[in-house]
Structure 1
Amino acid sequence: MQLKFRGVRGSIPTPGPNTVKYGGNTTCIEIRTDSGELIILDAGTGIYSLSQQLDKGKPVDAHIFITHTHWDHIQGLPFFTPAFMRGNQITIYGGLDPVTQQSIQRALAVQLQYSFFPIREAELKATVRYVTLTPGKSVMVGDARITPLLLNHPVLNFGYRIECDDRSVFFTGDYEPLFNIYRPEDQEYEPFQSMVDERFVEVCAFLHGVDALIVDASYTEEEYVFKRGWGHGTYQSGLNLAVRSDAKRLFFTHHEPNRTDMDLDNIYRQLLEQYQNLDIELNMAREGIEYNI
């Protein structure tokens, strides 16, 4: 498998001279299998650059897996240009929102409403279909097996495990490990902590042995004190997850919009120094960089 980051930023695009190295587009990851299948994880603004580099002389068969429907993960969908070309096939996968009872189709349909976009969904020339996923139930894209895992975030959020070509990748989407909402002296503390611990073990078992783990690492530990419950992880929580799941390579992504290239360089340098004896390859996700998994 080949893995290329098309967008690594969280919350909002951040173009400009201070984000050139790591990139300013929001979340989008391109995966190519050895047989040529195109799998796309999330459709932030990074999906536009991906669409511009596709061979326009060949029909596109794209499989877009949406982790969740917050804006920074779907706002590029209306600008995925293959959708406007006849003969292309686009399949969009996602969950059924338990609050709205709406399927993933809503993510594109809402953005293509009259008030928000000049082109209606009915005017798209490509064949677009939608697949509602069930946690733990795999779907196949060619030889690739993709399995969704429900992860903690303030809206329905799937992490995805992709297995193909004897390799595996897991992407968390936006993920904050569960934490105990009670104080140690509260009667509810111990049973709730047991649930938190059990859930973490389940997540690690699902991820076990992945060749590449891509995690939401929005915050430092110091920042997280003020942003607990916002639905995002830290560099430390990403490392904990990688160690416990025996991941081989770890990619930190969903960079905070206020992080400059210099900030990310400094954080990365500190991580490499602090964990130099760790038997896991550490990477700071960079837009446009391709990896062989």
Structure 2
Amino acid sequence: MKLIFRGVRGSIPTPGPGTVKYGGNTTCIEIRTASNELIILDAGTGIHALAQRLNPRETVNAHIFITHTHWDHIQGLPFFMPIFMPNNLINIYGGIDPVTNEGIQRSMGVQLQYSFFPIREAELKAKLNYHTLLPGKTVSVGEARITPTLLNHPVLNFGYRIDCDGQSLFFTGDYEPVYNIYSPEDPDHDEYQSYVEAKLAEVAQAMSDVDALIVDASYTDEEYRSKQGWGHGTYRSALSMAAQAHAKKLFLTHHDPCRSDRQLDRIHQQLQQENRDAPFDILMAREGIEYTL
């Protein structure tokens, strides 16, 4: 498998001179299997850049897996140019929203209302297929097997494991590891702690022994103190996940929109220095860089 980051930023696009190295587009990852199946993880603004790299004379058969429907992970869908071209097939996968009880098709239907976009879904030329996913139920794309795992975020969020060509990766989407909301003296503390430990063990099992672990690492420890419960992880929690999962490579992504290239360089250097003996590579996700697993 090959992976290319097309968007690595969280919350809002951040174009400008301070984000040239790592990129300013929101979340999108392009996966190519050995048989050239196109699998896309999330459809932030980076999916527009991905579309620009496709040959317009070739038919596109894309499989887009949405982790969750927060704006920065779906806002590029209406600008994915293959949806406007006949003969293309676009498969969109996601979970059921527990609030609306609707599937992933709702995200496209809402975005393409006239209030928000000038072109209706009925006017698109490509064929769109929507697929509802359930936690732990594997689906296949060619030789690739994709398994969703329910992860902690303020809206339903799937992490995705992809196994193909003898390799594997796991992408968390937006993820804050669960923590005990009760103080030790609270009578509910011990029972809830058992749930926390079971959930963390389930997540570690889902991402075990992957060649690449791609993790939401939005905050430093200091920043997290005032943002606990916002649904995002830290650099420290990402390192802990990689160690528990026995991952070979750790990619840190969902960079905070206020974080400049210089700041990311400094954080990366510090993490490498402090974790020289880590049994995995520590990398900052960068737009446009291709990695072969």
TM-score normalised by structure 1 residue count: 1.00
Summarize the alignment of residues 141-220 of structure 1 with structure 2, pairs less than 5 Å apart.
141-220=141-220
User: Helix, strand or coil for the counterpart of 1:149?
Assistant: strand
C-alpha distance in 2, partners of 1:56/1:110? Answer: 27
C-alpha distance in 2, partners of 1:282/1:252? Answer: 8
AA paired with 2:54? L
C-alpha distance in 2, partners of 1:240/1:163? Answer: 22
2:28 corresponds to which residue? 28
Aligned pair count reads 293
AA paired with 1:142? G
AA paired with 2:95? G
C-alpha distance in 1, partners of 2:147/2:166? Answer: 15
AA paired with 2:249? R
Q: Does 1:15 align with 2:15?
A: yes
C-alpha distance in 2, partners of 1:49/1:263? Answer: 24
2:4 corresponds to which residue? 4
Offset from partner CA, 1:100-150 (integer Å, 9 cap, x none): 101100111101001100000000000001000010001100000000000
1:39 corresponds to which residue? 39
AA paired with 1:56? P
C-alpha distance in 1, partners of 2:197/2:273? Answer: 29
User: Helix, strand or coil for the counterpart of 1:129?
Assistant: strand
1:128 corresponds to which residue? 128
User: Helix, strand or coil for the counterpart of 2:226?
Assistant: helix
Quote how far apart the aligned CAs of 1:57 are: 1.0
Summarize the alignment of residues 230-245 of structure 1 with structure 2, pairs less than 5 Å apart.
230-245=230-245
Q: Output the aligned Cα RMSD.
A: 0.4
Offset from partner CA, 1:17-63 (integer Å, 9 cap, x none): 00000000000000000000000000000000100110111100000
C-alpha distance in 1, partners of 2:54/2:177? Answer: 36
User: Helix, strand or coil for the counterpart of 2:282?
Assistant: strand
AA paired with 1:160? Y
C-alpha distance in 2, partners of 1:258/1:181? Answer: 28
C-alpha distance in 2, partners of 1:240/1:193? Answer: 18
User: Helix, strand or coil for the counterpart of 2:129?
Assistant: strand
AA paired with 1:181? I
User: Helix, strand or coil for the counterpart of 1:190?
Assistant: helix
AA paired with 1:165? D
Offset from partner CA, 1:215-241 (integer Å, 9 cap, x none): 000000000000000000000000111
1:92 corresponds to which residue? 92
C-alpha distance in 2, partners of 1:265/1:229? Answer: 27
Q: Does 1:119 align with 2:119?
A: yes
Offset from partner CA, 1:66-124 (integer Å, 9 cap, x none): 00000000000000000000000000000001111011001111010011000000000
Q: Does 1:223 align with 2:226?
A: no
C-alpha distance in 2, partners of 1:202/1:157? Answer: 15
C-alpha distance in 2, partners of 1:204/1:149? Answer: 11
The percentage of aligned residue pairs carrying the same residue is: 67
C-alpha distance in 2, partners of 1:206/1:272? Answer: 26
2:273 corresponds to which residue? 273
What runs of 5+ residues in structure 2 fail to find an aligned partner? none
Quote how far apart the aligned CAs of 1:284 are: 0.3
Quote how far apart the aligned CAs of 1:198 are: 1.1
C-alpha distance in 2, partners of 1:24/1:139? Answer: 31
User: Helix, strand or coil for the counterpart of 1:24?
Assistant: coil
Offset from partner CA, 1:192-231 (integer Å, 9 cap, x none): 1111011101111111100000000000000000000000
C-alpha distance in 2, partners of 1:248/1:28? Answer: 21
User: Helix, strand or coil for the counterpart of 1:73?
Assistant: helix
User: Helix, strand or coil for the counterpart of 1:226?
Assistant: coil
AA paired with 1:8? V
